[in-house]
Amino acid sequence: MTKADLIEEVSRVVEVTRKESEVIVETILDSVVRSLRQGEKVEIRGFGSFRTRERQGRIGRNPKSGERVEVPPKTIPFFKPSKELRDVVNGGAVPAAEPIARDLSSHTPPVDPLL
């Protein structure tokens, strides 16, 4: 599934336009990325959690020349699936979906977090 597929699925299920669905998906992804950049853990119950991990610097090798190369330390994103997600992927029962609230009257456009 691609991001475009996800946008289409949200649009179909929630019965909003593709553009509104795109805003929803982008807002969720931007929120996850922003939280990870700030070093926060993002937990979605029943799905999993996103966090960052620190990789130590090391000495690597250039595969073409065999030359030793210093690889600097870096922070990487890491996803840990929940037990429920692991069970479903391994053939377990899919939990019943909760009804989606259709009252969008209080919907306000997203605020640009960089402003």
Domain CATH number, residue 8: 4.10.520.10
Q: Which domain holds residue 52?
A: 3-89
- Note the pTM of the prediction, 2 decimals: 0.71
Backbone angles phi, psi at 33, to 5 degrees: -60, -45
Residue 94: predicted pLDDT:
72
User: Count of domains in the chain?
Assistant: 1
Does 45 map to a domain?
yes
Could you give the C-alpha distances from 23 to 1, 27, 54, 96, in angstroms and in order? 18, 6, 31, 26
Average pLDDT for 21-43: 97
pLDDT above 90: percentage of residues in the chain: 78
Residue 77: predicted pLDDT:
97
Does 41 map to a domain?
yes
